[in-house]
Chains A and B, each alone.
Chain A
Amino acid sequence: MPADASPVRHPRDEAALRRVAMLVAGESPQPAVFEAVTAEANELLSPARVRIVRLDRASDLDDAIARIARDAGGPGRAIGVPIVVGEAIWGVLVAASADAGALGSGCRARLADFGELVAGAIASARARAELRGLAEQQGALRRVATLVAQGAEPEALFDAIAGEASRILGVDAISLVEYDAQTGMYTQIAATHGRRAAMPVGGRWPADSSPLGASVVGTGRPTRIDDWTHAPGQIAARHREEGFGQAVAAPIVVDGSVWGYIAAFGEADEVLPPGCEIRLADFTHLMATAISNAQARDELRGLADSQGALRRVATLVAQGAEPKAVFAAVAVEGSRLLGVGAVSLISYDADAQMFTKIFGTHGQRSPVPDGVTWPVHECPEGELVVGTGRPGRIDDWSTIPGEIAAKHRAEGFGQAVAAPIIVDGALWGHMAAYGEADEILPPGCENRLADYTNLMASAIANAQARDELRGLAERQGAALRRVATLVAGQAAPGTIFNAVAKEASRALGVARVDVGRCHDDTSVTLLGSTAPAGPVGPPAFSKSGDCVAARVIAAGRAARIDDWTTAPEAQAAAAEGFRSAAAAPIMVDGTLWGVIVVLADEILPRDALTRLTDFTHLVASSISNVHARNSLIASRARIVTASDETRRRIERNLHDGIQQRVVALALGLRAVRVKNALAAEADAGLEQVADGLENLLEEIRTFSQGLHPALLSRSGLGPSLRTLARRSPIPVSLAVAPGPRLPEPVETAVYYVVSEALANAAKHSRASEASVSVASDDTRVRATVADDGIGGADLARGSGLIGLVDRVEALGGRLALDSPAGGGTTISIELPLAAPTLDDPPAL
């Protein structure tokens, strides 16, 4: 029997192996295990010397043994046993001696025993490292994803990400940097190294200030800079001053483009471990969705702020407030939105090259009082806007001549930003915001102001049109005043145009007046008329009217036909029995919008055309007014759409990004537990991590369900509401009348209303049950959510309900809240299935 195969070990061997095995089981560091193995083996196999040799390739095994045999000197020998870890040769355990006799029988078997222990120690260290890496990654992801699920502020999230990067890399100094591709500027978003950071959080620098950003953004790949000695730029200089050495950085790629990077900075004498940039890249990959999420949420907050501003101004407009009050509200809301105290609204007269100060939020401190007019060249920020037609910024007022600039300085103002206000395609004026002398207006401030003026242009146009109408009504007689009152009261288009026809007929003493809308194909449809409705519906545009309207459309100006008997179109008119006709074009924003036609039994008086023209002006102003009102509604609808889109993106992000990743990690964790027979303690630890991931998934799931009804468009309103009802902690009786699918924005609005109302009921009402009913006909849908709780709900309190009002009003609908104390809460909405437009045939 070969000695090597001896199953019986000497007690001395047993003791030595047990000592090493204890070290391995005690998870001692590898060098300690290796040291113990060589010491114990040396003692047992003396005078032979034992070594552990790491092999790069399995084929090096024999060479390595032969070399050690040679090194042992003379005719010496060496015996080696391979150390096999995970089916691959890791290295070799070699015993060598100049004295061949020292490597006697049993030596190989004893070596093999030690070799197995070494292999076990390495395998267990590897498994531990793998688990530790996994646990670290999961821990980092869990902590960051939890913040995301809780809707934490972006700043908190960015700080957490930098902190986690520091923890995972074992590097104290970590920066999170955002890159703006448009300006080429870098912004410090978070830094773990406080005062030692080259830039404070919020600080910006250009590409040539540091080699790091250029390298990461340029290549889109992780990078390492070993030597900063000759790196140009201020940031690089600060880096050296603070005693930093090597740096690694990895790009953060969001939606396919480089959003920024995370950088880790070692101390001057520190060598960052190899592969550090790869681990950082893995980490940034993991964090990219969290970052894109935070960004989307920031946008959402901005949209919500704009929405609030627009709602307050739109409410004033809807209440028929004085134009002055509307202008003031526009300036005040702008000031609130930008967080800048001094904001002015200024109108522009292109012919006179003058500005007029409409309203300023900074009263006495303003160099120009409200209502005062002054030349363009004395208002530098306004001149900039007039010259470029774009938003702009004035940084330095110290060299600007003139009294107004001097007053600006004397009042302690510094930077200014301004943005144009465009109404009907022409520059109406501008809005400006003035910072204090020591204040730096945030980057992009002028663009935010421009977004805001765009949003408010229709409110300004509306106030302006109303001002003009009032002027017109004051100059003209009672007829015009009555129509102007209707318009100012925001009557339905049909009512307005019928009133115009009636007033024109009375004022001109004619039998019939038609107001028509001109289309591109030269056809005309009737909007209002003095003719009674026929037995089968609204009256038709008169044939005679058609003839004279055709002349107006062809010539682009007013026309009259005094005597049909001599006109070429005589036949059509004769059938209707009219003697003469006149028509004038209604021009809106410089284009032919429609036509107003009068038909008389007698020959029309000489001044008929002039008087008719007054009516067309009135109609044009009314239309401008209604246009402005509609576009105000459209602005609100656009914000609702934009925030829905952002919510949808966040939901997608969570679903496709973070949730998918957490599930993949959870399954990976289970795979590790299936693959490795782990000690009970380690397994329990992993189970805890697995439970943590499960909770996190649940949290994200709940959070994203409230965010956006992802399945609504696929499954429809009924099934989606049934899901809501099932999920509600309060029992819900649901009645959804069957019917065809509704337009998507309408379904979304109904869903949100029911969802928010049920959520409120569950949170605040202490109700024992709730009911939901939804029914629609051809033109509108009605939905009601009622509970039997304590009532007392208030639109003014809590952003949830007011958000619903925005949503419903943006679609031209109405929301009513009935919530007496102790009497339960009922929220009902009514939404038109199609938003009415001015061009629709009015209901008569």
Chain B
Amino acid sequence: MVSLSCLIVDDSQEFLASAATLLSLQGVDVVGRASSGDEALRLAAVLSPDVALVDVELGDEDGIELARRLTSEGSSAAVILISLRDRQELAELMAGSGAAGFLRKDALDAQAVADLIAPPGHPGRGTGAPHAG
């Protein structure tokens, strides 16, 4: 599997730690962790990760709005929204977010992340967000 660089955005330190450990062990290069929208935008600009995993409920902030900003403000990262909730419950909210896909947090896995990011030339499952190949 091609090594991916990844930014994880979540307001739970516990989740950040365990997700980073698992993905690292599975060969993903976890280049940054953020727990707020501002921090995420800053890190995305500096680190240019291949993918940003963004929690839908980011404390008081709106992760879906953050996804919209990340994809519309020229970040090269493909955004995958993550949540404890079901896709079904969030489908209407996530429409038009610009995210390349959605993963439930307990299904987080390097392969699942890689599968959601289409290779260059194949539009991603959401909107075909710009993606650094």
Contacts and interface: CB of A to CB of B under 8 A. Distances in A.
B84 A659 contact: yes
A691 to B, nearest CB: 11
A667 B89 CA distance: 22
Contacts of B89: 705, 711, 723
A668 interface: yes
Contacts of A671: 18, 21-22, 25
Contacts of A694: 106
Nearest to A714: B93
Interface in B8-24: 12, 14-15, 17-19, 21-22
Contacts of A726: 88
A667 B108 contact: yes
A264 B21 CA distance: 33
A180 interface: no
B22 A670 contact: yes
Nearest to B25: A674
Contacts of A843: none
Interface string B46-83: 00000000000100001000000000000000000000
Interface residues of A, number: 28
A659 B85 CA distance: 10
Q: Which of B18, B26, B86, B93 has the most CB of A within 10 A?
A: B18
Contacts of A659: 84
A655 B12 CA distance: 11
B125 interface: no
A664 B14 contact: yes
A799 interface: no
A15 to B, nearest CB: 38
Contacts of A667: 15, 18-19, 21-22, 105-106, 108
B18 A656 contact: no
A711 B93 contact: yes
B92 interface: yes
Contacts of B21: 667-668, 671
Nearest to B62: A714
B90 interface: yes
Contacts of A727: 88
Given A663-B84, A667-B108, A674-B25, A715 B12 contact: no
A32 B7 CA distance: 47
Contact of B14 (A660, A711, A714): A660
Contacts of B14: 660-661, 664
Nearest to A668: B18
A448 interface: no
Contacts of A665: 18
Contacts of A674: 22, 25-26
Contacts of A670: 22, 109
A632 B88 CA distance: 40
Nearest to B26: A674
B88 A663 contact: no
A658 to B, nearest CB: 10
Interface in A703-735: 705, 711, 714-715, 719, 722-723, 726-727
A603 B105 CA distance: 84
Interface string A467-493: 000000000000000000000000000
B92 to A, nearest CB: 4
A719 B92 contact: yes
Contacts of B92: 715, 719, 722-723
A727 B89 CA distance: 9
Interface string B21-33: 1100110000000
Contacts of A655: 57, 84
A667 B113 CA distance: 14
Given A667-B21, A674-B25, A660 B15 contact: yes
A714 to B, nearest CB: 6
Interface string A384-404: 000000000000000000000
Contacts of B19: 667
A473 B130 CA distance: 80
Contact of B86 (A675, A701, A714): A701
A719 B93 contact: yes
B22 A663 contact: no
A666 interface: yes
B62 to A, nearest CB: 8
A663 B105 CA distance: 7
B63 to A, nearest CB: 11
Contacts of B25: 671, 674-675
B22 A723 contact: no
Nearest to A720: B92
A668 B108 CA distance: 11
A714 B58 CA distance: 14
Contacts of A711: 85, 89-90, 93
A723 B93 CA distance: 11
Q: Which of B57, B89, B108 has the most CB of A within 10 A?
A: B89
Contacts of A715: 92-93
Contacts of B84: 655, 659-660, 663, 697, 701
Interface string A667-682: 1101100110000000
B47 to A, nearest CB: 22
Interface in A724-780: 726-727
A723 B90 CA distance: 9
A511 to B, nearest CB: 62
A588 to B, nearest CB: 43
A376 B16 CA distance: 65
B18 A664 contact: yes
A659 B84 CA distance: 7
Contacts of B91: 723
A671 B30 CA distance: 14
A694 B88 CA distance: 18
A714 B93 CA distance: 8
Interface in A232-267: none
A25 B14 CA distance: 34
B25 to A, nearest CB: 4
Given A674-B22, A674-B26, A701-B85, A663 B90 contact: no
Nearest to A700: B84
B29 to A, nearest CB: 16
26 contacts: A660-B12, A660-B15, A661-B14, A663-B15, A663-B105, A663-B106, A664-B12, A664-B14, A664-B15, A667-B22, A668-B18, A668-B21, A668-B22, A670-B22, A671-B22, A674-B22, A694-B106, A697-B84, A701-B84, A701-B85, A701-B86, A711-B90, A714-B62, A715-B92, A723-B88, A723-B91
Which 9 A-B pairs rank lowest in CB-CB distance, beginning with the nearest?
Answer: A719-B92, A667-B18, A664-B18, A664-B14, A671-B22, A674-B25, A667-B22, A663-B105, A671-B21
Given A655-B57, A693-B106, A722-B92, 18 more contacts: A655-B84, A659-B84, A660-B14, A660-B15, A663-B15, A664-B15, A664-B17, A664-B18, A667-B19, A668-B21, A670-B109, A674-B25, A705-B89, A714-B62, A714-B93, A723-B89, A723-B91, A723-B92
